[in-house]
Amino acid sequence: MTCSHKPSWFLAVLCAFAAAVPALAHHSFAAEFDAKKCSEITGVLTSVDWQNPHAYIYVDVKSAAGAAESVTFQLSSISNLRRGGMERKNMIDNFGKAVTVRGCAAKNGEKNRYAASFIKFPDGKIYRLGQDVEGLFGTNN
Amino acid sequence: MEFLHWLQDSGLATWVRESDALGSTFPYTFLLALHAIGLAMLVGPNVAVDLRILGYGRSVPLGSMEGFFRQMWVGFWFNALSGLVLLPTSAVTFLTDPIFYVKLGSIALAVVTLQMIYGEVFRGRSGRGDTPPTTKAKILAGTSLVLWVVAIVSGRLMAYNGDVRRSTLNAFLLLLLLLLVGGVGWRAIARGPGWGVSLRRSM
C-alpha cells in the first residue's frame, strides 16, 4: 500500500520544486540596447510615463546646433524602480530641472533613445533606473 | 495605427499600465498571473489528452479524461479575458508584431481542434472514449500538439527582438527535435508495461 503511493508522492515534491523556479519572463537588454554605447546625457527633465512593463522619462537635451531635442529613456518596471528607491513623485519633483542620466543607446539606429541605468538629480542624489550593465555611472569600464 | 494609439491611451489601458495605487502594481501583476495560470489549465490537460490519444500512458482510461474539459474551458476564458484587458496596454507594440498574430492564430486553431477532438473521441462513433482512438482522432491530436507548441513558443518570442528572438526560436526548434527523436526512440525501445508499473513492481 505505501509503496504504490511512493512514486506519486515523489512526483508531487518534484513538481513543487519545478514550480518554484522563478519565471524568467524578462526580455533581453542586449537585443534592444548596446551596452558598448553608454554615455552620460545631461538635460532638462520634462515628463514621465510611469508605467508597466517599462517606465519612460523624457529629457530635453541641447544639441550642438543649440536646439532642444527630446531624448527618451527606457526604465525598469514600477516595482523594480521602487526597489531602487525611485518613485514617480521623485521624478515629478524634478521637472524642469537639469538631470544627468547614464544610458545605453538603442541598437536599431533610432536616435535619442536609450536604456537608462542611473540618474543624478540636482541635489546630487543618485538612483538606479534600470539594469546595471557597467557599474555606477560607468565605473566598471 | 491611430486606432492603436487611441486604444493604448484609453482609460482602462492607461489605468492597468500605470497602476500603482497604495504602492502596489496589483492590477497589472494579477492579470499577468491569471494569464499564466489559465495557460497551464488549458494547455496542460489538452496535451495530456493528445498524448493519450497517440498511445502514451495507456493505463489511463481515455474516457476518464473527459472530466478535464470543464477545467480547460475555465483556463481558456481566464486567458481570453485577461488577454483582452492586457492587449490595449501595449496595443501599438503587440498589434504591429507579426509574432502576436501567429500566437493568436495558432491558439484559435488549437481550440477549434480541441472541440473537434471532443466530438470525435468523447461524443462520436467512439462513444465515451471507450473504444481505441480513430485515425482521425490521432491526426487531430498530433495537430493539437503542434499548434500548442507554436502558440507557446510565439508567446515566449513576443518578449524578444531581433537576434535574441532568432536565437531563442532556434533553441526551441533544437529542443523540439531532440524531444521528438527521444520520444520516438523511447517508444521503439521501451515497449514494456510502463515506468509506473515497473517502478511499483521493483519496490
pLDDT tens readout for residues A42-100: 999 999 999 999 999 999 999 888 889 999 999 999 999 999 899 999 999 999 999 99
Partner-chain residue, chosen from A27, A31, A50, that has the shortest CB–CB distance to B163: A31
Kindly write down the DSSP assignment for every residue of A36-99, as one continuous string. Answer: EEEEEEEEEEEEEE--SS--EEEEEEE-TTS-EEEEEEE---HHHHHHTT--HHHHHHTTTSEE
CB A30 within 8 A of CB A37: no
* pLDDT grade for A8, boundaries at 50, 70 and 90: low
Q: How many residues does chain B have?
A: 203
Residue to test with chain A: of B9, B14, B17, B90, most A Cβ within 10 A? B17
Contacts of A23 in chain B (CB under 8 A): 36
Coil, strand or helix at A129? coil
Q: Which one has a higher pLDDT value, A107 or A118?
A: A118
Q: A29-134 — its CATH code?
A: 2.40.50.1010
Partner-chain residue, chosen from A4, A49, A79, that has the shortest CB–CB distance to B25: A79
Decide if the complex's ipTM is over 0.85.
Answer: no
Please state, for a pLDDT cut of 70, what percent of chain A lies above it: 79
CB A60 within 8 A of CB A70: yes
- Output the pTM of the full model: 0.79
Angstroms from B160 CA to nearest CA on chain A = 5
Cβ-proximal residues to B190 (8 Å cutoff; 6+ apart), any chain = none
Name the B residues in 135-154 with CB < 8 Å from any A CB.
Answer: none
| pLDDT tens by residue, B187-198 | 777 666 666 666
Judging by beta carbons within 10 Å of its beta carbon (0-12, 13-18, 19+), is residue B201 exposed, middle or buried?
exposed
Which pLDDT value is given to residue A20? Answer: 43
Grid cell locating B98: 507579426
Name the residue of chain A whose CA is nearest to B36's CA: A23
In degrees and rounded to multiples of 5, residue B153 shows phi and psi of -65, -45
CA separation for the pair A117, A80 (Å, rounded): 12
Beta strand A68-74 with A56-62 is antiparallel
pLDDT averaged over chain A?
Answer: 82
Coil, strand or helix at A35? strand
Would you call B165 and A31 a contact, using CB atoms and an 8 Å cutoff?
yes
For residues A10-43, b (16+ Cβ closer than 10 Å) or e, as one string? eeeeeeeeeeeeeeeeebbbbbbbbeeebeebeb
Residue A21 has pLDDT above 80, yes or no: no
Q: How far is CA B107 from the centre of its chain?
A: 7
Contacts of A4 in chain B (CB under 8 A): 200
Contacts of A7 in chain B (CB under 8 A): 196, 199-200
| B196 Cβ under 8 Å from any chain A Cβ | yes
Would you call A3 and B23 a contact, using CB atoms and an 8 Å cutoff?
no
Q: Name the DSSP class of A19.
A: H
Q: Could you identify the residue written with the cell 513623485?
A: A89
CA separation for the pair A73, A30 (Å, rounded): 16
Please state, for a pLDDT cut of 90, what percent of chain A lies above it: 54
Would you call A52 and B28 a contact, using CB atoms and an 8 Å cutoff?
yes
* pLDDT grade for A23, boundaries at 50, 70 and 90: very low
A16-25, B75-84, B158-167: range with lowest mean pLDDT: A16-25
Angstroms from B93 CA to nearest CA on chain A = 12
Residue B127 has pLDDT above 80, yes or no: no
Size of interface A-B (CB pairs under 8 A): 48
CB A38 within 8 A of CB A134: yes
